């Protein structure tokens, strides 16, 4: 699939592309003269189509908030003969200071080798089936199978692994609570063995030094291994107790905390997923629906777009407001307490993740704020009559009914 078809470019000529961008913003192409909409010099229609609002913004946009969108489809992919991973960090997405993201693919049998890292790891399975393992600081074990729609959370410093199961392995999104973190900088078990004298290994494990003659001389990172047997067999190998709070959570199996004709919201945070210190929501918005005007008071928001086409408006104050378009594999980022909305502008259901570094999910609705202070006060600000304000919902409506 070409970039042109992915971004739904309506025309590849300069003039046609500009008319399409104007139409996408809701502005009339007639409002701009042909000269004002032309770009006779060197330009790249494919790049311009990635976010048409950069070239022709909405009339309500003003100022420059920097880059609010990146995409896993635009970053370097580190391949091995067993699988691959690609990452978006603050190095290529400067606004993403609090969180970094990784997209990883493990075919059946492929293993993300035993490792740990300083930041916590939040994950969502976008495809297939895998097996995850971990051991906590009390030597308590955790082994579980995960499927599409499940997530896991490993606290910082907890060693773990991931392996693809049949029939076709798995793919998933990882989010770390440190925008500087790179998947390439994890602490790998093979790397530590390779850099520790054999006599120290022998003494530590009470084994002969010859036991370590064949350990790898280079880290494995992602490698092929035999497909594991049953989950019960893997669990039976350890007699240690299970971790007190499982590191797995089946988000897609949860009943939505909010549902309307416009869409649904499912939340996983420390209230229902006891192991996590990072909150998240899976948001579904039907065509024509809107994730209401709101902001998050306790954390930046890292977004991952799974399906559909979205338009996000971001209000930063100081009269600044920018609009961004998103497609599957795109990442969005909204700093803490910055107002925004997300609108489904496509023909299919929009699905995206909201991830936060705070343990509890929190948002503030513009509409419910206005409805829960004296109507006369709001009327004095906005020149909206009181009877109209009385019609506003006092409770939050995360996805506005269509």
| Cα–Cα dist 5/322, whole Å | 25
CB 333 within 8 A of CB 179: no
Q: Is the peptide bond before 337 cis (omega within 30 degrees of 0)?
A: no
Contact between 357 and 122 (Cβ < 8 Å): no
Tell me the CB-side half-sphere exposure of residue 147, using CA atoms within 13 A: 5
Measured on CA atoms in the order 14, 19, 25, 31, is the torsion positive or negative? Answer: positive
Please report the DSSP string for 87-152 in residue order: EE-TTTSTT--S-EEEEEEE-BTEEEEEEE-SS-EEEEEEEEEEEEEEE-TT--EEEEEEETTEEE
Q: Which of 250, 74, 116, 99 is nearest to 180 (CA)?
A: 99
User: HSE on the CB side for 143, CA within 13 Å?
Assistant: 16
Whether 148 sits among the annotated catalytic residues: the reply is: no
299: helix, strand or coil: coil
CA 295 to chain centroid, in Å, comes to: 17
Nearest 5°: the CA angle 345, 324, 61 is: 105
Query: For residue 237, how many other CB atoms are within 10 A of its CB?
Result: 8
- 332 and 68 Cβ atoms separated by less than 8 Å: yes
In angstroms, rounded to a whole number, what is the distance separating the alpha carbons of residues 207 and 152? 35
CA angle 26, 28, 34 (to 5 degrees): 130
Q: Which residue in 121, 183, 292, 354 is the catalytic one? A: 354
Strand ranges in 193-289 using DSSP code E only, listed in sequence order: 222-224, 248-250, 258-260, 263-268, 279-285
Active site residues per annotation: 354
């Amino acid at each position: 699939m070409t970039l042109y078809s992915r971004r739904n470019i309506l025309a590849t000529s300069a003039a046609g592309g500009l008319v399409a961008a104007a139409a996408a913003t809701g502005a009339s192409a007639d409002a701009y003269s042909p000269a004002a909409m032309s770009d006779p010099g060197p330009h790249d229609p494919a790049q311009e189509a990635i976010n048409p609002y950069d070239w022709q913004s909405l009339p309500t946009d003003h100022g420059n908030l920097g880059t609010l969108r990146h995409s896993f489809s635009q970053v370097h992919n580190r391949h091995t003969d067993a699988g691959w991973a690609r990452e978006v960090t603050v190095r290529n997405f400067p606004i993403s200071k609090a969180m970094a993201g990784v997209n990883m693919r493990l075919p059946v049998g492929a293993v993300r080798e035993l490792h740990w890292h300083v930041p916590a790891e939040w994950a969502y399975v976008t495809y297939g089936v895998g097996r995850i393992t971990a051991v906590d600081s009390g030597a308590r074990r955790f082994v579980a199978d995960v499927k599409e729609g499940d997530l896991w959370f490993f606290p910082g410093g907890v060693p773990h692994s991931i392996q693809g199961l049949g029939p076709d392995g798995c793919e998933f999104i990882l989010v770390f609570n440190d925008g500087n973190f790179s998947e390439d900088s994890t602490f790998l078990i093979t790397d530590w063995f390779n850099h520790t004298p054999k006599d120290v290994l022998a003494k530590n494990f009470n084994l002969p030094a010859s036991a370590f003659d064949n350990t790898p001389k280079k880290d494995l990172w992602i490698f092929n291994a035999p497909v594991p047997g049953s989950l019960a067999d893997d669990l039976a190998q350890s007699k240690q107790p299970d971790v007190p709070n499982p590191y797995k959570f089946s988000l897609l199996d949860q009943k939505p905390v909010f549902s309307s004709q416009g869409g649904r919201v499912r939340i996983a945070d420390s209230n229902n997923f006891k192991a996590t210190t990072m909150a998240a929501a899976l948001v579904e918005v039907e065509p024509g629906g809107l994730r209401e005007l709101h902001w998050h008071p306790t954390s930046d928001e890292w977004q991952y777009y799974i399906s559909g086409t979205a338009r996000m408006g971001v209000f930063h104050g100081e009269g600044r407001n920018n609009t961004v378009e998103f497609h599957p594999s795109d990442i969005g980022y909204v700093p803490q307490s910055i107002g925004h909305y997300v609108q489904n502008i496509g023909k299919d259901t929009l699905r995206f993740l909201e991830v936060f570094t705070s343990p509890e999910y929190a948002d503030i609705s513009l509409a419910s704020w206005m409805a829960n202070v004296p109507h006369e006060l709001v009327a004095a600000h906005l020149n909206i009559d009181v009877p109209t304000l009385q019609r506003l919902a006092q409770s939050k409506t995360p996805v506005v009914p269509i």
